[in-house]
């Protein structure tokens, strides 16, 4: 038997027009899934319990805070004025379910034509493309977010020390740090908190990849406690 032979098995009652119904069904299901995920995330955040006591980190109330947190932790636990805080992905208290979360991966679509110039489309192409809408729904539009908050980022131009507290320096949010590096003072100091001893090397490598090669130091988060 030829292992490369393709078999197309299709019900004798199948009609190509059924594919349109499939696309509509996929689109509707994706919309329902997106709504359910957003609602579940919002519900979870709304039920977060804040500790009764003040937070144990020593924070400078005169600093400007860029928060990746969706809750009012800085305001409620550390008495940081709201005017000093920007929630870059919105907050559950101020924006309800209108929160920005997801990935920053590049989504690559298959070319319409193959290497011979022939069409790659099949009767299921539109349905397959519709199924990718879930990925698009949870892709952070970081460039647009930066543009919308350009005044805030420009206001950091006189900053000579940047503290990154409690952030894992993940690839998703690296574009924010890259942009901050462009607007703050040249050779600014970057102080990065960490939990585990194996984190600093990875974090330093990540920051250097986006051009942050000025003075970088690390401090354990617990050492910043009161």
CB 65 within 8 A of CB 165: no
Higher pLDDT among residues 135 and 16, named by residue:
135
pLDDT band, residue 55 (cuts 50/70/90) = confident
How far is residue 207's CA from residue 187's CA, in Å, rounded to a whole number?
Answer: 13
| pLDDT of 128 higher than 50 | yes
- Of 92-101, 113-122, 132-141, where does mean pLDDT reach its minimum? 113-122
* Interval 213-225 mean pLDDT: 87
Single pTM value for the model: 0.76
The span from the CA of 216 to the CA of 211, in Å, is 12
> What are the tens digits of pLDDT across the range 142-194?
999 999 999 999 999 999 999 999 999 998 999 999 999 999 998 899 999 99
Task: Kindly tell me if the per-residue pLDDT of 123 is higher than 70.
Answer: no
Q: Averaged over 123-143, what is the pLDDT?
A: 76
């Amino acid at each position: 038997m030829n292992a490369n032979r393709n078999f197309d098995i299709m019900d004798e009652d199948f009609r190509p027009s059924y594919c349109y119904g499939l696309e509509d069904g996929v689109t509707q299901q994706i919309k329902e899934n997106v709504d359910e995920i957003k609602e579940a995330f919002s519900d979870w955040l709304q039920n977060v319990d804040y500790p009764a006591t003040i937070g144990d980190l020593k924070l400078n109330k005169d600093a400007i805070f860029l928060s990746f947190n969706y809750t009012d932790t800085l305001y409620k636990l550390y008495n940081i004025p709201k005017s000093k805080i920007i929630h870059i992905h919105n907050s559950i208290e101020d924006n309800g379910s209108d929160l920005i979360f997801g990935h920053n991966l590049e989504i690559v679509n298959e070319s319409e034509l193959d290497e011979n110039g022939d069409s790659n489309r099949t009767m299921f192409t539109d349905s397959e493309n519709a199924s990718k809408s879930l990925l698009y729904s949870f892709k952070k539009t970081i460039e647009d977010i930066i543009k919308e908050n350009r005044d805030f980022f420009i206001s950091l131009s006189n900053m000579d020390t940047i503290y990154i507290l409690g952030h894992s320096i993940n690839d998703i949010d690296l574009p924010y740090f890259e942009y901050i590096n462009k607007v703050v003072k040249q050779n600014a100091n970057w102080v990065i908190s960490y939990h585990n001893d194996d984190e600093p090397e990875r974090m330093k490598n990540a920051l250097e990849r986006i051009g942050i090669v000025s003075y970088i130091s690390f401090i354990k988060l617990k050492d910043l406690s009161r």
